[in-house]
Amino acid sequence: MHVRLSLIDSVPPVTRDIAIDPSTSLDVVHLVIQRLFGWQNVHLHRFDSADPFERWRADAPEPRAWLLPSLLDEFDGEPDTDATLAEALAVGGGTLWYEYDFGDSWRLTITAIDGDDTPRCVLAAVGHPPRDDSGGVHSFNERRAARSAASEPVDIDSLNTSAQTLLAATRSLPRLRPLLTRVTTDVGSEWCARIAAAVQHPPIIDDAAIAASIRPIEWMLRRIGPDGTALTAAGWLPPAIVRDAMRELNWEHRDVGMMNREDRTFAIADLRALMRQLGLLRVAKGRIARTAVARRLVNDSRTLWQHVAEQLVARQPGAVDRDLMLLMALQLVSGEALDEHPLAERMARDLSALGWRDRGGNRPDELVHGRVTPATASNMLSWALQPLRDLGAYPEGERRRWQWGSEPTPVGRALGWAMLGGQLAQVDAT
């Protein structure tokens, strides 16, 4: 589908002609507009099926609006995540209205136009758009009229690269979309650029690698058995299971001593806690048993692994925890090697960009800006990294539990891809 984006009331015109998949959801269309018009996604926006500034006839159809889901308690409308561009244009009779920044009120029309098939996204670009917080279209026109020099040409190639990178990332990794709508255009563009190579060449993982990754979870499910296992009087796993798990999973280098008590063998305690969090184990009446999901998946390594990847995000206890796991997935997909100190710095910056604040900061700039501190991010990473390591996302050291490589493994990159909603092709080990 070809559409023209036109800034309403701009003199001379500011337009962008683009080729875009008609099934693109409106929340992604919004992100494309932000990039093509140089805006930073720091204000509210909405889509309307009719011009909201006109007076409607009594017999006119009821207009529809599409907004951020978080605004639906305040404004009448529908989620912009649930409607496609084609659907919204059909409701509007071939034209859609878009408003960004309800103060300056930058308004666009989105109109279907004719065009031929092309691999490009941006087909034409006329005029340089206004900047954020610059006073509205009439002030914009006055400033343009006062300039005597000819305007500089628009860098269509740069706009095209930015839009195509965004569209490819959101199409391949759907769980990235809600994160991108919450950060500035610059931050979102940086995230998309980091994973652009992976989007072009998605990670591939064979069944043998899947089986090795999911082995700790499968081992525990099979050892507990279809009928479950009685816990000790104190509620811990039987010592024989703890000892066998450390030996058979080749985890003995992670600890010292007998390694037969769950309360003193943190690797097994962490594994059991993770499996309960993922909805694979349950405890009742002094016994630990598989859940219905675990019983269904225990003999299907790939589907179990996919379930674990999804639930690592979905079953986090809070919204900030889910965001952190999605950011860790982004880090895995990028394939970048970072040790824990710069990783904490990056996570603190990205969590802050998503709107999280750390009230415990004691430095003046932290108190003023209210951002997440690296120390807080480091504490969060201490629990977020371990399940990823147990699943083989990072290479393990040979002598100590806390010695881990900083570069994601191929399994880790695939795990991050699945956590972000990406689909993995099934490849035979041969």
Residue 119 reports pLDDT greater than 80: yes
Report the Cα 286 to chain-centroid distance in Å. 39
pLDDT at 146: 83
pLDDT of residue 69: 92
Instruction: Give the sheet arrangement for strand 229-230, strand by strand.
Output: 229-230, 287-290, 281-284
The sign of the torsion formed by the CA atoms of 230, 233, 234, 237 equals: negative
Residues 6-21: pLDDT tens digits?
Answer: 999 999 999 999 999 9
Per-residue DSSP letters for 63-129?
A: P-EEE-GGGTTTSS-EETTS-BHHHHHHHTTTEEEEEE-TTT-EEEEEEEE-----S-SEEEEESPP
Please tell me the distance from the alpha carbon of residue 381 to that of residue 375, in angstroms, as a whole number.
10
- Domain 2-156, CATH number (from 3.50.50.60, 3.10.290.30, 1.20.1260.10, 3.40.50.1820): 3.10.290.30
Confidence check: pLDDT of 156 > 60: yes
Please state the pTM of the whole predicted model.
0.92
Question: Would you state the pLDDT for residue 340?
Answer: 75
Measured CA to CA, the distance from residue 19 to residue 21 in angstroms comes to: 7
Q: What is the pLDDT of residue 428?
A: 60
Structure tokens at 414: 């695939």
Least confident of 12-21, 194-203, 269-278, 339-348: 339-348
Could you tell me the CA-to-CA distances from 148 to 2, 126, 142, 368 in Å, in that order? Answer: 34, 18, 12, 42
> Other CB atoms closer than 10 Å to residue 364's CB: what's the count?
8
Which residue spans of the chain are classified as CATH 3.10.290.30? Answer: 2-156
Query: What pLDDT does 369 receive?
Result: 67
Judge contact between 65 and 83, C-beta under 8 A. no
Average pLDDT over residues 227-234: 96
Q: How confident is the model at residue 327 (pLDDT cuts 50, 70, 90)?
A: very high
Span 255-275, average pLDDT = 93
For residue 384, what pLDDT is reported? 92
Query: What does the CA dihedral 153, 156, 162, 166 come to, rounded to 10 degrees?
Result: 130
On whether the CB atoms of residues 328 and 384 are closer than 8 A, the answer is: yes
For residues 177 and 81, the answer to whether their CB atoms sit within 8 Å is yes
